Chains A and B, each alone.
Chain A
Amino acid sequence: MEMPVAIEFVIDDVAGPDHVEVLSEALHARAERSLRERTVWLDTHDWRLFGAGLLLEHQVLAGGSWLVLRGLDGDRIARQAAARATVTADTLQEGAIGHRVRDLIGLRALLPRASVTRPAQVLLVLDGEQKTVARVVLEGPATVKDGTPLGLRARLEPLRGYDKAARRVEKRLAAIPGLSPAESFYGAVFAARGLDPRGYRSKPDLHFDPEQPAGEAFASTFAQLLAILRDNLDGTRRELDSEFLHDFRVTVRRSRALVKLAGDVLDDNVRARYAAELRWLGDRTSLSRDLDVHLLGFDQMAGQLPAPEVLDPFRDQLRREARTAHAALNRALRSPRFADLLEGWERDLTMPRPGPATSLAVADVADRLLSRSWKRVHKRGRAITVDSSPEALHDLRKRCKELRYLLELFSSLYKTKVHRELVRELKRLQDNLGEFQDSEAQRFTVAEHAAELARNRTAAATLMGLGRLEQQLETRQDAARREFADRWERFDRRDNERLYAEMVAAR
């Protein structure tokens, strides 16, 4: 049921207070009664629906409430009756909308992103048979929740098969003094609420000029990192979904790596302070995130056992611990130390300050930092033998992450194709190290909990289940360990050295 696209107008004061009469007369239209309508646009924090070209609206009227899925040009894809209460991913009914939305949002929560209330009045343009051939909706003034109010608007809704009538009405509307073409209603509401779905970033979006002073480039990077951290703070505190904490933590890690690797671009005192403070913050997030990861992968892990339900006591315990860990994290996020950290970050890191290397060209600094990081990864990697401890692999993993962050931060300085290829090579190695480390961490958690559950007289079946789980994780970890040599060899080959040299030289 393809719907023709609506055409929007704003009505300024010239139209006067009798705008309904003015428009009805100009269009020879019949005015229906005025209704109050509330529309809430739902999307994830990172605008997954919008990114897929969709808008999900919850419309609440006196006569009922609806969930409407639209394309960004306003054409309606599906509509279904909905409850008046706030819609979340959990209360989303089965059906075409629910299916599509759930597929797109994945782990993320469906959140009310913008809400608007306004009177709406429909004008019907009729033909000789009293059949409606076009609808004009007059709406506003509108109250945007947590935003600036919007004035009066008119929206022409053409009807299928009545294109000529719609063109006629559009011409008439455009000729009425005080009416001028406008952007979409949702666009106006988002702007009034200060939202910019296209501007959403989960990681810094950096474009450096190679000659730009390094101090400036670093400051703008720290400013973006701080903005992203703040953007994820509320969702992390309220546990809206697990991705907030994930993005929060990754941002802390990126910032830590940057502070650590910044060398003489930052003043030594500043560097020491934020290295310590960011480490403190990162450590506060670890337990909560580890438990999230464990719980998110729980079903898949337990599914490998013949009777997954024997692990329920283990899951319950993990849930309890996750709650405690989150409460502890929230205490840290409410602490004066955290407030000081944010305040100091803004003051000390987001503006270029005098330092030994702040005026050097960012490209030269990038080359130097990358080269140091590249060498560090190779030194650690080459030192690993079959007898090396898990810590040695863990250490290599951390160095690889640093290299990856640097490559990402400075990507705008290098040739895209070579840069991308190098990141791909590095990612292959990181995946293996990640698999090894995750299995190790999970195995440790399982073993630790098994011991505790055993002390609490837990059923034998559960303990045996945990034993099998530990065994599976060990097998996984061993496989990753065996594969490491091949992965490393591939990463360490001459081709990649050449690729790296080419990337730096081609800048």
Chain B
Amino acid sequence: MKILASYSIKGGVGKTTAAVNLAWLAANEGRRVLLWDLDPQGGATFLLRIRPRVKGGGEALVTGRRELRDAVKASDYEHLDVLPADFSYRNLDLLLDAQKKPTQRLGRLLDDLAEEYDVVVLDCAPSVSLVSESIVRAADLVLAPVLPAPLSVRTLDQLRLFIDATRGPAPELLAFLSMVDRRRRMHRELAAELPMQHSDVSATTVPVASAVEQMGVRRAPIVDWAPSSPAARSFQALWSEVAARWT
């Protein structure tokens, strides 16, 4: 079982979109995929039309009172299951803090599902917190969308520092530029330069596109309903990069 964490320190950068589309692509290849929506806002859960509710809330899951598998819901897609978001996840930091070895807790919980899934995708709330530390510790690969802005290099540095500072074996980092507008020179330049200068930045960029926004209206991954759109192609390329690392 491989764990992919879609993570960003900053919100609104396309983290949930990446998580949902990559999860769909992995499942479409026949891999058994679980998408855990850890963001109390429940974007991924909403996009897959599932009720954002877990019986007993985050506490039941974190304390082990309720097994993760009992909270899993099938999505409308074969091989893609979802552990829905719950509003109580906003207190996940406190819940984890009350556990022994809090940063290892999420990984331990997922260990129980190792026989049932080939890939777990974690969609994490944007923050630097005990939860994000826990997620980074559990992950094999951190997928990080970065906005094409003058500060993006700094964002990347912070991300690397954060990953390095996390205890345990460090996951791989795969950053990519998100919401790229090809009409803007700076976006084009950053898209060309960053992958050349940093080995952990993908050459694939995800464009800013109305189709991506449409996902919220259609409530389905763009790779499903517009597979040949530029954004869907970007996600396919990103997933291929991830899958290539895992074969």
A interface footprint on B106-147 (CB within 8 Å = 1, 0 otherwise) = 000000000011000000000000000000000000000000
Closest chain-A Cβ to B31's Cβ sits at a distance in Å of 9
* B76 adjacent to A2 (CB under 8 Å): no
* B30 adjacent to A81 (CB under 8 Å): yes
* A2 adjacent to B50 (CB under 8 Å): no
- A2 partner, pick from B48, B69, B219, beta carbons under 8 A: B69
* B49 adjacent to A1 (CB under 8 Å): no
Q: Does A16 contact B (CB under 8 A)?
A: no
Q: Does B15 contact A (CB under 8 A)?
A: no
Other 16 A-B pairs with CB < 8 A, given A1-B81, A80-B30: A1-B32, A1-B34, A1-B116, A2-B69, A2-B116, A66-B30, A78-B32, A79-B78, A81-B29, A129-B49, A129-B51, A131-B49, A131-B50, A160-B72, A161-B71, A161-B72
* A131 adjacent to B72 (CB under 8 Å): no
Binding site for B on A (CB under 8 A): 1-2, 66, 78-81, 129-132, 159-162
The answer for the CA separation of A129 and B48 in the assembled complex, in Å, is 10
- Give the residue name and chain of the B residue nearest to A160 (CB): B74
Binding site for A on B (CB under 8 A): 29-30, 32, 34, 48-51, 69, 71-74, 76, 78-79, 81, 116-117, 219
Closest chain-B Cβ to A124's Cβ sits at a distance in Å of 8
- Give the residue name and chain of the A residue nearest to B116 (CB): A1
* B79 adjacent to A1 (CB under 8 Å): yes
* A79 adjacent to B76 (CB under 8 Å): no
- A162 partner, pick from B69, B73, B116, beta carbons under 8 A: B73
- Give the residue name and chain of the A residue nearest to B29 (CB): A81
CB-CB under 8 A from A81, the residues of chain B are 29-30
* A161 adjacent to B73 (CB under 8 Å): yes
CB-CB under 8 A from A130, the residues of chain B are 49, 219
CB-CB under 8 A from A131, the residues of chain B are 48-50, 76
Closest chain-A Cβ to B16's Cβ sits at a distance in Å of 17
CB-CB under 8 A from B73, the residues of chain A are 159-162
* A159 adjacent to B49 (CB under 8 Å): no
The answer for the CA separation of A132 and B76 in the assembled complex, in Å, is 6
The answer for the CA separation of A80 and B32 in the assembled complex, in Å, is 10
- Give the residue name and chain of the A residue nearest to B83 (CB): A161
* 3 interchain residue pairs of minimum CB distance: A161-B73, A131-B49, A159-B74
CB-CB under 8 A from B71, the residues of chain A are 161
- Give the residue name and chain of the A residue nearest to B71 (CB): A161
**Given A2-B69, A160-B72, do A79 and B51 touch, yes or no (CB 8 Å)?**
no
CB-CB under 8 A from A160, the residues of chain B are 72-74, 81
CB-CB under 8 A from A161, the residues of chain B are 71-74, 81
The answer for the CA separation of A129 and B82 in the assembled complex, in Å, is 16
Closest chain-B Cβ to A81's Cβ sits at a distance in Å of 6
* A79 adjacent to B74 (CB under 8 Å): no
The answer for the CA separation of A401 and B183 in the assembled complex, in Å, is 86
The answer for the CA separation of A160 and B76 in the assembled complex, in Å, is 11
B48, B76, B79: residue with the most chain A Cβ atoms closer than 10 Å: B76
* A79 adjacent to B69 (CB under 8 Å): no
Closest chain-A Cβ to B19's Cβ sits at a distance in Å of 18
The answer for the CA separation of A66 and B49 in the assembled complex, in Å, is 27
The answer for the CA separation of A142 and B65 in the assembled complex, in Å, is 47
5 chain-A/chain-B pairs, Cβ below 8 angstroms: A2-B69, A79-B30, A81-B29, A159-B73, A162-B74
CB-CB under 8 A from B116, the residues of chain A are 1-2
Closest chain-A Cβ to B211's Cβ sits at a distance in Å of 20
The answer for the CA separation of A28 and B69 in the assembled complex, in Å, is 29
The answer for the CA separation of A130 and B51 in the assembled complex, in Å, is 11
The answer for the CA separation of A2 and B74 in the assembled complex, in Å, is 10
The answer for the CA separation of A422 and B73 in the assembled complex, in Å, is 56
B29, B72, B74: residue with the most chain A Cβ atoms closer than 10 Å: B74
- Give the residue name and chain of the A residue nearest to B33 (CB): A1
- Give the residue name and chain of the B residue nearest to A95 (CB): B30
The answer for the CA separation of A66 and B74 in the assembled complex, in Å, is 20
The answer for the CA separation of A160 and B78 in the assembled complex, in Å, is 11
A66, A129, A131: residue with the most chain B Cβ atoms closer than 10 Å: A131
The answer for the CA separation of A228 and B74 in the assembled complex, in Å, is 47
CB-CB under 8 A from B219, the residues of chain A are 129-130
CB-CB under 8 A from B78, the residues of chain A are 79
- Give the residue name and chain of the A residue nearest to B117 (CB): A1
The answer for the CA separation of A131 and B52 in the assembled complex, in Å, is 13
Closest chain-B Cβ to A318's Cβ sits at a distance in Å of 39
Closest chain-A Cβ to B225's Cβ sits at a distance in Å of 14
CB-CB under 8 A from B32, the residues of chain A are 1, 78
Closest chain-B Cβ to A489's Cβ sits at a distance in Å of 51
Closest chain-A Cβ to B166's Cβ sits at a distance in Å of 29
* B79 adjacent to A79 (CB under 8 Å): yes
- Give the residue name and chain of the A residue nearest to B48 (CB): A131
The answer for the CA separation of A162 and B50 in the assembled complex, in Å, is 11
The answer for the CA separation of A162 and B81 in the assembled complex, in Å, is 12
The answer for the CA separation of A159 and B76 in the assembled complex, in Å, is 9
The answer for the CA separation of A129 and B116 in the assembled complex, in Å, is 27
Closest chain-A Cβ to B83's Cβ sits at a distance in Å of 9
The answer for the CA separation of A78 and B71 in the assembled complex, in Å, is 21
- Give the residue name and chain of the B residue nearest to A129 (CB): B49
Closest chain-B Cβ to A359's Cβ sits at a distance in Å of 61
CB-CB under 8 A from A66, the residues of chain B are 30
The answer for the CA separation of A271 and B148 in the assembled complex, in Å, is 93
- Give the residue name and chain of the B residue nearest to A159 (CB): B74
- Give the residue name and chain of the B residue nearest to A3 (CB): B74
The answer for the CA separation of A159 and B78 in the assembled complex, in Å, is 10
Closest chain-B Cβ to A162's Cβ sits at a distance in Å of 7
The answer for the CA separation of A172 and B51 in the assembled complex, in Å, is 24
The answer for the CA separation of A81 and B207 in the assembled complex, in Å, is 30
- Give the residue name and chain of the B residue nearest to A81 (CB): B30
Closest chain-B Cβ to A87's Cβ sits at a distance in Å of 15
A2, A66, A131, A161: residue with the most chain B Cβ atoms closer than 10 Å: A161
Closest chain-A Cβ to B108's Cβ sits at a distance in Å of 20
CB-CB under 8 A from B74, the residues of chain A are 159-162
Closest chain-B Cβ to A39's Cβ sits at a distance in Å of 16
CB-CB under 8 A from B49, the residues of chain A are 129-131
CB-CB under 8 A from A2, the residues of chain B are 69, 116
- Give the residue name and chain of the B residue nearest to A133 (CB): B74
Closest chain-B Cβ to A67's Cβ sits at a distance in Å of 9
- Give the residue name and chain of the B residue nearest to A124 (CB): B76
The answer for the CA separation of A129 and B219 in the assembled complex, in Å, is 10
Closest chain-A Cβ to B184's Cβ sits at a distance in Å of 37
CB-CB under 8 A from B76, the residues of chain A are 131-132
A1, A79, A132, A162: residue with the most chain B Cβ atoms closer than 10 Å: A1
CB-CB under 8 A from A79, the residues of chain B are 30, 78-79
The answer for the CA separation of A66 and B29 in the assembled complex, in Å, is 11
Closest chain-A Cβ to B234's Cβ sits at a distance in Å of 23
